[in-house]
Amino acid sequence: MLRFPEGFRWGTATAAYQIEGAASEDGRTPSIWDTFSRVPGKVRNGDTGDIAADHYHRTAEDISLLKELGVTDYRFSVAWPRVQPSGRGPVSEKGLDFYRRLADALRDAGIRPVATLYHWDLPEELERAGGWPERRTAERFAEYAGLVADALGDRVATWTTLNEPWCTAFLGYGSGVHAPGRTEPVAALRAAHHLNLAHGLAVRALRAALPAGAEVSLTLNPHAVGALTGSDADRDAARRVDALGNRLFLDPVFHGRLPEDLVADTARLTDWGFVEGGDLAVIAAPLDSLGINYYAPTVVAAGSHDGPSPWPGAEPHVRFASTPGPRTAMDWPVDPDGLYGLLVRLRDELPGVPLVITENGAAYDDYADPEGDVHDPERVGYLRQHVGAVHRALGEGVDVRGYFLWSLLDNFEWAYGYGKRFGIVHVDFASQRRTPKDSARWYAQVIAHNGLTDG
């Protein structure tokens, strides 16, 4: 039996655009994902989030599922275009009411609501005005954060500003595989800085609006990056990916500085003149915890990468290597040691910062059998190993406070559409019928025992 500390938080995570649907109801305006998913060829099968898992209309049923699991916490995101339809100016009370009802119902069920303010659904109007590469988007975000905190601060005590700003900046504006689909290396670097700034300004707005004792956090997807070999060239490739994938966010947020090696690596592209005096101090506002999303490691070697890339400035020096071993349906390698190593690194680099695993999980090709059951032994295996890695890290003195499984429901997996299933509850998208998979029953046992009985 691998027992977790008393009070360890067990949750599941979702995101608004991936589950809510109701894309044009109650005054919601389009987000960049509504627009992007309509561009032919951008999302597999032409899928969109118009209906998704219809969570907007099935909230009560979904909260019952959470109750059956026995989670202590539930992480959801607030859709900016639902609560502030033009991305500036007045709020939509109808939009806010949805989240007020959600938070109330969770609390009635004894589940702590954990709100993320931005999980990738920028109001389309703000992208038309330039999007994240522009400084004013950061200012808009801080206003929005303050408004949502004013409206929900009496019922939600745990807040996250951004989810995975690396993806927003580099998949959205670098490789273009995510909305808004731009492939502009300098814009991607500008976006990364303005996301950091948006975070810092939002922390300030949240602290001003929330009661004392509220928890304010940020969720990153730090890359567990390793060099394929110990050669200098491979290690230099790993350093470059670490700079763009990790230190570009960790250094400003926790140390108030930009990584010098990254500024040098990207000198051909930009002089970083968009970083204004005082920005780094704003970005370094103290946080109560750091959220970590982890799925798979990143192994790199010296080489080059062609075509639009999420690694501006690093392309001529880096290739991404594939390693042997089991893989998920995303073709991502299964490597719990990557999570363990990341946690130990963060313990050393960020002393005194509590960590929370805000996402971890796996896609497999699940289906309901003739009896209506969904057996997903591979997912159970993946989860067991990763929860075990968290336990091992706790044993090494890493201060991990919680684990949120991605995801409660099968949902709209961004550019992969509905083809990739991450849920521990199966969703038949034609009927919207929910069926807990074997992994849901396994997770309920973990929560009930506060640990792994089969670890």
DSSP codes of every residue in 386-400: HHHHHHHHHHTT--E
State which residue, 222 or 313, has the beta carbon closest to ligand FCB. Answer: 222
- Are 97 and 91 in contact by the 8 Å Cβ rule? The answer is no
Angle at the Cα of 39 from the Cα atoms of 434 and 17, rounded to 5 degrees = 35
Burial of 48 (0-12, 13-18, 19+ CB in 10 A): buried
Tokens of 182: 């731009």
Tokens of 90: 């007045």
- Are 312 and 186 in contact by the 8 Å Cβ rule? The answer is yes
State which residue, 171 or 394, has the beta carbon closest to ligand FCB. Answer: 171
Query: Residue number with the shortest CB distance to ligand FCB?
Result: 15
State which residue, 279 or 359, has the beta carbon closest to ligand FCB. Answer: 359
CB of 324 to ligand FCB, least distance (A): 23
CB of 162 to ligand FCB, least distance (A): 10
Q: Which residues form the interface with ligand FCB (CB under 6 A)?
A: 15, 18, 163-164, 167, 221, 293, 359, 406, 413-414, 422
The SS3 assignment for 261 reads helix
CB of 422 to ligand FCB, least distance (A): 5
DSSP codes of every residue in 176-231: -SSTT----HHHHHHHHHHHHHHHHHHHHHHHHHSPTT-EEEEEE----EEESSSS
CB of 287 to ligand FCB, least distance (A): 19
Catalytic residues: 164, 359
390 closest CA partner among 7, 8, 92 = 8
State which residue, 146 or 174, has the beta carbon closest to ligand FCB. Answer: 174
CB of 279 to ligand FCB, least distance (A): 25
State which residue, 246 or 293, has the beta carbon closest to ligand FCB. Answer: 293
- Are 291 and 217 in contact by the 8 Å Cβ rule? The answer is yes
